[in-house]
Structure 1
Amino acid sequence: MIEASQGTVTKKGIWSWMLFDWAAQPFHTLIITFVFAPYFTSQVAPNDVVGQSYWGYAVGIAGLIIAVLSPVLGALADASGPRKPWIFGFSLMGVIGSSLLWFVTPGASETTIIFGLLAFAMALIGFEFAAVFNNAMMPDLVPRAELGKLSGSSWALGYVGGLICLILMLGFMVGNTQTGNTLLGFTPILGLEASLHEGDRASGLLTALWMAVFIIPLFLFTPDQAPKAQVVGAIKQSLQSLWQTILRLPKNKSLASFLLSSMLYRDALNGLYAFGGIYAAGVLQWSIIQIGIFGILANVTGAIGAWFGGRMDARFGSKIVVGACILLLILASVLTVSTDRMHVLWISVAEQSDHSSLPDYLFYFCGALIGAAGGALQASSRTLMVDQAEPGKMGEAFGLYALSGRATSFIAPIAIALVTSLFASQRIGVTPVIALFVISLILLPKVQSRTR
């Protein structure tokens, strides 16, 4: 096995590591946000409100499992050495779960709905755990001064991968149920039947295939940690190390503040991603193709934002970038919840019996803003986590990072689900994300950041 050594990793090894984001991003783009989630809530579940609630519970429960196990698995990986075996196993889990989504048909029975939610949860857990170990490899690839650019470029590459998959879906696979044609006016390829929403369901198959193919270079060319000399007792050692790190958290104000802040703002951001397409489908009555155009725009700005944010990270530091992005996401969230088919900023824009197109334009703007700020935020967050980690405990650190992103990951989706059910309103249902962003911003000043 090739052992990672900072400064000696080839460009091929670095690009192969970056391809993980390229391989994994379509799951978030196609399944969580723009294609399958809106399809599930609008065509599989009994109605939009019930669908949004079901989806919220699935995301929340899967997130709770990720939160509990991520630090333990990360610490175990530090004790044993290599990260690639973990990445392979959990990527396979994600590929299988995504593939099973093909069998979730429109107007499904309760049994099929549960099957679909379980398959989605399986895929989500697989992709998230694989990302934990991929992130832990990052500090071994380049010097600290280059981490911001590496993380930003990798996130940008991921957004481009998601964008290409979204264009493939909308341009060649997802057909309009009325015309039978795709966004580009073609008959769906591979005989996909628009009336049966086979294009929407194929999003899981494309996600699985994309991941299976493009993760291969990581295993072939990116160096990994060498196996540790003593693997016996690794589980006990990893748990002891993790417990000691947790006990020291009250004294490590920077790490504790970052974990608390990041668990809230990433939970809120994931809530926006998970329910953005669902919101557009239910509140603005957008079609899957309209949501897809929205997704294309968000992915373009996400790639630009991640790339630009990486450069700003290298120049001004990760903390500055994170704080600025949270402010932009608060603005986008407020604009979103103030908008429905008849209102913008809670002001009526209806013209007699015709609806103004202003809500559509504003929602496109919000999507672009969320994409750009979200891309930069996630890229700089990885770099800021490296600043908090102890040497030799990078797997444990990113396990805690996953914990901070998932320990409260049930709060946003379940809060959205509960508020949506309580008020019978999708628009009011997404308001909890604003409070999460605000609290996370208050916690950020105590976090330390460095650029060298």
Structure 2
Amino acid sequence: MPLFPSSALRPGVRKREVLAWAMYDFANSGYTTVVITAVYAAYFVGGIAGGAPWATLAWTSALSLSYAVVMLTMPAIGAWADRRAAKKRVLMLSTAACVLSTAALALTPTVHGAAGVAVAMLLVAVSNTFYSYGESLTGAFLPELATSEGMGKVSGWGWAFGYVGGMLTLGLCLGYVLWAQARGLPAAHFVPVTLLVTAGVYALAASATFAGLSERAQPQPDRGIGAWRQLRHTFAQAQQYRDFMWLLACTVCYQGGVAVAIALAAIYAEQVIGFKTQETMALIFVLNIAAAAGAFGLGYLQDRLGHRPTLAITLVAWIAVCVLAALAQGKGLFWVAATIAGLAMGASQSAGRAMTGVLAPQAQLAEFFGLWTFATRLASIVGPLSYGAITWAAGGNQRVAIMATTVLFVGGLVLLLPIDMRRGRAAALGASGRAQ
């Protein structure tokens, strides 16, 4: 069976252009894998901040700052890109800024004391902000490439390809780390190299996207709305599309739970289950492999079964993950939970992006994907902060916090129920017809 049957792609779209689009997922996944999860996060806490009691709070604060900036600005940036048919240009600028700020993180080990912490927090916030802009803008190209019937498989293929890119970048970095450690080199030496590798892979892979991806949108009339008013205006417009609004609410809930898994899985594995460092690295690899399989396989399933039922299946799987992780007393059961989490992670993220593409008006794709980014970044603040607050209230008991995370996925299931994909698609197509 071909990856992209004729029914999956819009007229005039070639498979090589879809590959170029998917290369962006390949390019930017290394950033989250190496910087946010596997390498720099731990180095910031233990190296830059010297393991101080406030180190983890400083790290999460830098990320939360970036998410807040993205929440407030992405809809306006998306609206500007839509009006000027400039998604590709803005994507190129966002990519360049993320690559440069990621490479600049390599200099942070040379800055000591409070200044070093401040510089590192600033660069993390800047790089993560521009990474988030790129993630939203590349998603806005999806409805221009895929039909509504093929959006699930094309989105899933991109997510799966992204996890492969994350694995490649992490593999290159870990290979160098092991080589450096075998020669007695300190983290202050090999961590900067991993950041340069990450920036290099990002830039190289993204260049394939820019070479092969076309801007199909047409400039729209300028509505004369300032950037600071754009967020409220976009929300006001989106309220005309009730199924899209239900999807945003659903996204805030379930992505909050996903954010907990991304930000805290390694911490839970080591502090609660007793994983060693090398076991945690292996865990991250398994999670990425499972996530790639989930995004790819369930991407095809959602085009047959339907977007909403497929997302519902993944949310039930996430609930099972939280329960298994909370009950796990040994590593075996936790490995099972982690594998299911990987499958659910890729599938749920792919399904959410595809549903957004189906329900967003064609003339305002970047703008409405900006709202989707607003929802995912709000979730990235709500989920981990809730987990931390519950852990603190429970006297450090993370099992209580991970069990409480099931509430986010249950909430996502409840908010998924009112969504009618056919009604929402008809509303989006009607808006596109009026705009022409």
Give the TM-score of the pair, scaled to structure 1. Answer: 0.83
Tell me which residue corresponds to 2:178. 175
1:211 aligns with 2:214: no
* Contact preservation (8 Å) 1:271, 1:412: yes
The CA distance in 1 between the partners of 2:92 and 2:58, in whole Å, is: 30
In 1, Cα distance between equivalents of 2:202 and 2:23: 10
SS of the equivalent of 1:228 reads: coil
8 Å CA contact 1:64, 1:409 repeated in 2? no
Uncovered stretches (5+) of structure 1, i.e. residues with no partner = 182-186, 188-192, 345-358
From 82, 85, 96, the counterpart of 1:81: 85
Residue number in structure 1 paired with 2:140: 136
Deviations along 1:321-373, whole A, 9 cap, x unmatched? 1111111112212322444xxxx2xxxxxxxxxxxxxx223332222211110
Does 2:235 align with 1:246?
Answer: yes
**In the TM superposition, what is the alpha-carbon distance from 1:200 to its structure 2 partner?**
3.7
Aligned pairs for 1:346-357 (under 5 A) are none
Q: Where does residue 387 of structure 2 map in the other structure?
A: 416
Q: Is the alpha carbon distance of 1:143 and 1:252 closer, same or farther for their aligned partners in structure 2, counting shifts above 3 Å? A: closer
Distance in structure 1 (CA, Å) of the matches to 2:269 and 2:237: 44
Flag the 1:337–1:44 CA change in 2: closer, same or farther, 3 A: farther
Query: Which of 389, 408, 414 is matched with 1:436 structurally?
Result: 408
- In the TM superposition, residue 125 of structure 1 has moved relative to its aligned partner by 0.7
CA–CA separation in structure 1 for the residues paired with 2:362 and 2:342: 33
Could you list the runs of 5+ residues in structure 2 that have no partner in the other structure? 1-8, 427-436
Q: Deviation at 1:107?
A: 12
**Distance (Å, rounded) in 1 between the aligned partners of 2:339 and 2:262:** 12
Tell me, yes or no, if the aligned pair for 1:75 and 1:242 is still in contact at 8 Å: no
How far off is 1:430 after superposition?
4.9
- Tell me whether 1:29 sits opposite 2:18 in the alignment: no
Contact 2:257/2:383 (CA < 8 Å) preserved in 1? yes
User: Counterpart in 2 of 1:11?
Assistant: 15
Work out whether residues 143 and 362 of structure 2, in 8 Å CA contact, stay in contact via their aligned partners in 1. Answer: no
Q: Aligned residue for 1:53?
A: 57
Who is 1:202 aligned against?
193
How far is 1:297 from its partner? 0.6
Alignment-derived partner of residue 66 in structure 1: 70
User: Which residue does 1:97 correspond to in 2?
Assistant: 101
Aligned to 2:154: 150
Q: Indicate conservation of the 8 Å contact 2:71/2:374, yes or no.
A: yes
Aligned 8 A contact 1:60 1:414 in 2: no
**Alignment partners' CA distance in 2, 1:49 and 1:284:** 22
Distance 2:323 2:54 in 1: 24
Rounded Cα–Cα distance in structure 1 between residues aligned with 2:142 and 2:186? 45
- 1:41–1:52 contact (8 Å) kept in structure 2: yes
* 1:35-90 per-position Cα deviation (integer Å, ceiling 9, x unaligned): 22233334444448643332222222211111111111111111111211110111
Q: Work out whether 1:38 is the aligned partner of 2:9.
A: no
Of residues 281-290 and 71-80 in structure 1, the stretch that sits farther from structure 2 once superposed is: 281-290
1:382 offset after TM fit, Å?
A: 1.0
* Alpha-carbon distance in 1 for matches of 2:224, 2:326: 46
Within 5 Å, give how 1:353-368 maps onto structure 2.
359-368=330-339
Cα deviation code 1:149-179 (max 9, x no counterpart): 1111111101111112222222x212399xx
TM-score, normalised to structure 2's length? 0.86
1:312 and 2:290 aligned? no
Pair 256,412 (structure 1): closer, same or farther in 2 beyond 3 Å? same
Deviation at 1:256? 1.5
SS in 1 for 2:319: helix
> 3-state SS of the aligned residue for 1:236?
coil
2:432 aligns with none
Structure whose residues are more often helix by fraction? 2
Map of 1:325 onto structure 2: 314
Measure how far apart 1:234 and its partner are. Answer: 5.8
Change (3 A) 1:140 1:25: same
Separation in structure 1 between the aligned mates of residue 408 and residue 63 of structure 2, nearest angstrom: 17
Aligned AA for 2:186? S
1:388 correspondence with 2:377: no
Residue 279 of structure 1 deviates from its aligned partner by: 2.8
Say yes or no: does 1:447 pair with 2:419. yes
Contact 2:82 2:217 in 1 (8 A): no
User: Shift of residue 117 of structure 1?
Assistant: 1.9
Larger mean CA deviation between 308-317 and 101-110 belongs to 101-110
Question: Contact 1:103–1:201 (CA<8 Å) still a contact in 2?
Answer: yes
Q: Which residue of 1 aligns with 2:287?
A: 298
Q: Distance in 2 between matches of 1:337 and 1:86?
A: 43
| Structure 2 Cα separation of the partners of residues 304 and 74 of structure 1 | 30
Secondary structure, aligned partner of 1:25: helix
The root-mean-square deviation of aligned C-alpha atoms, in Å, is 2.8
Q: Is the contact made by 1:299 and 1:371 (CA closer than 8 Å) also made in structure 2?
A: yes
Cα distance in structure 2, aligned partners of 1:224 and 1:426: 50
Distance 1:41 1:281, change over 3 A: farther
1:334 paired residue among 299, 323, 341: 323
